[in-house]
Amino acid sequence: MTAELLINVTPSESRVALIENGILQEIHIERHTKKGIVGNIYKGKVSRVLPGMQAAFVDIGLDKAAFLHASDIAIHSELIDEVSPSQLEIKDIGALVREGQSIIVQVVKDPIGTKGARLTTDITLPSRYLVFMPSVSYVGISQKIEDEQERTRLRTLVQSFCDDNGGFILRTAAEGVSENELAQDAAFLRRLWQKVQGRQKSDGRKKSIKANVLYEDLPVARRVLRDFVGTEIERIRIDSNLTYKELHSFTKEYVPELVGKLEYYKGDLPIFELYDVENELQRGLERRVNLKSGGYIIIDQTEAMTTIDINTGAFVGHRNLEETIFNTNIEATLAIARQLRLRNLGGMILIDFIDMTEPDHQKRVINSLEQAMAKDRAKSSIYGFTKLGLVEMTRKRTRESLEHQLCGECPACKGSGSIKTVETICFEITREVVRVNKAYRADMFVIYASPTITDALLGEESHLLAELEAFVEKQIKVQTEPLYHQDKFDVVMM
């Protein structure tokens, strides 16, 4: 598998595309006026405690208060003022925090839709090989490092870096790394944590400030390079000379194995025209995703969950119906895994595969989906088929989906995805004229409506207007308002 990163930089936005085998798989977008805050560490104040929800709202300086659940409060007292260790053992929000209390928190989920940011007091600081955890003193190892001998070697090496002031998790990229490189990573993370603690103490003297940023995660381009250490990236192309120089300095110091893969892109075509990235982004916003066989999938994203429906479409197969259905479902698993990564869809996901009668086919479809999702860096869990024949799964969600990043609510349908038909609006106008005629005295009526509605009232629905005039015994005129949406109208008495 060949993979490369394309980094597109403009004064207002940075975008990073992951290309695998010539196809867009992931897109990371950061607008400079609206940066994501996952990974940032804040000194906030508890604004409200909700015992019934076992949670608290914390003011960290955003428009909406952030959410902290009792289960996300780490069992240590260093990060929380005036709370004893014995109290922290009780997972009761009333015993853990109080209103007005200062607290050090880290963002684990960006604000999404109407929900505020999700917080934890279990602070983690990542680097290329290690993740530092000030709340523990043990060593954790990525499950993707499977060789037991290597796991033992890494655990032995990193255990010597742990003490009562913190422990480490070994990332997948640490496999095969020397003791010296791990020691440098550990020393860097401890220095970084000391800076965070130093800012906490200095900011604590500023009584007028409610919330302070103690640590900000890296900008999107550097963050992606840090997180992709250990993956098989062949080339990293950047279309900004300034960003290229910055990333060259960054990789030289922190990720030296990537230095030789950096390339300043000087091509005539915009960098995202390579591999058809721009068009793929547009297709990533559509409900329908066509499969090569002629089938298709429909993706609907709601606040509660994402639903995916598979259809055979024009695919008729070559043998029998069961084989056609099975082949369509197998092809859909690959498309679904890619779309989840591309659109950054998370939370609960419900997949309605085409009904299969063969248990072996169901098992093979689940295996295919699991294999396809194994390439995804975001954690996912697949729970198999339910009694209704649906597949339940979850995917870890930290940042907003592609749709939420790039799109807003439709002013016409207000997010519902549909609007009333022309016929429905015409009937509503009829009822409104009758209502106003009964309630008030008027000599005539003027209906102000969109061009679509007025065309209908004067054309195919003109009989409604004639019947209405006879019923109310008043003259009715129709006036076009070009700026009105289809479902907006006004009835004015004259």
Report pLDDT digits (tens) over 453-489.
999 999 998 999 999 999 999 999 999 999 999 989 9
pLDDT tens-place string over residues 275-333: 999 999 999 999 999 999 888 999 999 888 999 999 987 666 566 788 888 999 999 99
Using a 10 angstrom Cβ sphere, with 0-12 exposed, 13-18 middle and 19 or more buried, the burial of residue 94 is middle
237 against 199, higher pLDDT: 237
Q: What is the pLDDT of residue 229?
A: 67
189 against 256, higher pLDDT: 189
pLDDT at 119 over 80: yes
**DSSP code of residue 407:** -
pLDDT band of residue 91 (cuts 50, 70, 90) is: low
Answer whether 75's CB lies under 8 Å from 89's CB.
yes
- What is the rounded CA–CA span in Å between residue 276 and residue 6? 12
Average pLDDT of 248-254?
87
Half-sphere exposure of 298 (CA within 13 A, CB side): 8
Using a 10 angstrom Cβ sphere, with 0-12 exposed, 13-18 middle and 19 or more buried, the burial of residue 268 is exposed
472 against 398, higher pLDDT: 472
How does strand 489-493 pair with strand 139-141? unpaired
Structure tokens at 250: 């960054």
- What is the rounded CA–CA span in Å between residue 17 and residue 29? 9
